[in-house]
Amino acid sequence: MKKVLFVNVFGQGHINPTIGLVKELMNRGEQVTYIAGEEFREKIERTGATFIGHRTITHDKQLEVIDKLKEAIEQIIEAALNANEKYDYIVYDSVFFIGNELGRILKIPAICSITTFAINDKTNILGEEFKKFDSMIQQFSNSPIYIDYAKHLKEKYGIKLPNLSNVNTGSGMINIVYTSRYFQICNENFDDRYKFIGPSIADRNEETNFSLETNDKKKVIYISLGTVYNNNSIEFYESCFKAFGNMDLNIIMSVGKDTDISALTSIPSNFIIRNYVPQLEVLKQTDIFITHGGMNSANEGLYYDVPLILIPLSVDQPAVANRVAKLGAGIVIEKDKVTAKTLNQAVVKILSDKNFKINSEKIGESLREAGGFKRGVDEILNLCKVYDEVAAVDNKNSI
Same domain, 90 and 21: yes
- In this prediction the pTM is 0.90
Are 328 and 384 contained in the same domain? no
Q: Give the per-residue pLDDT at 132.
A: 54
Q: Is residue 211 a part of any domain in this protein?
A: no
Same domain, residue pair 23 and 156: yes
Is residue 81 domain-shared with residue 165, that is, in the same domain?
yes
Same domain, 279 and 296: yes
Examine residue 205 and state whether it is found in any structural domain, yes or no: no
Asked if 216 contacts 385 with a C-beta cutoff of 8 angstroms, the reply is: no
How many domains does the structure of the chain reveal?
A: 2
Q: Is residue 206 part of a domain?
A: no
Q: What is the pLDDT of residue 265?
A: 83
Residues 180, 241 share a domain? no
**The pLDDT value given to residue 226:** 73
Per-residue DSSP letter, 243: H
- Within a domain: residue 213? no
Is 226 within a domain? yes
Which regions of the chain are under pLDDT 70?
A: 57-65, 124-140, 164-169, 203-216, 227-232, 395-396, 398-399
What pLDDT is recorded for position 328?
98
282 vs 277: CA distance, rounded Å: 7
Q: How far is CA 263 from CA 238, 257, 304, in A?
A: 11, 13, 33
Amino acid 57 reads: I
What CATH number has the domain bearing residue 333? 3.40.50.2000
Query: pLDDT tens across 262-294, in order?
Result: 888 889 999 999 998 999 999 999 999 999 999
For residue 203, being part of any structural domain is answered with no
- What is the model's pLDDT at position 217? 77
How far CA 236 is from CA of 241, 311, 320, 332, in Å, comes to 9, 11, 21, 16
Query: Looking at the domain assignment, is residue 74 inside a domain?
Result: yes
pLDDT at residue 208, as a whole number? 60
Looking at residue 1, its pLDDT comes to 85
Asked if residue 272 and residue 171 are part of one domain, the reply reads no
Q: Residue 207 falls within a domain, yes or no?
A: no
What DSSP letter does each residue of 300-353 carry, written as one string?
HHHHTT--EEE---STTHHHHHHHHHHTTSEEE--GGG--HHHHHHHHHHHHH-
Residues 298 and 314 in one domain: yes
Q: State whether 285 and 300 are in the same domain.
A: yes
Do 315 and 276 share a structural domain?
Answer: yes
Clarify whether residues 126 and 238 are in a common domain. Answer: no
Q: In terms of domains, do 129 and 266 share one?
A: no
Give the range of the structural domain holding residue 9, as residue numbers without chain letter.
3-198+371-398
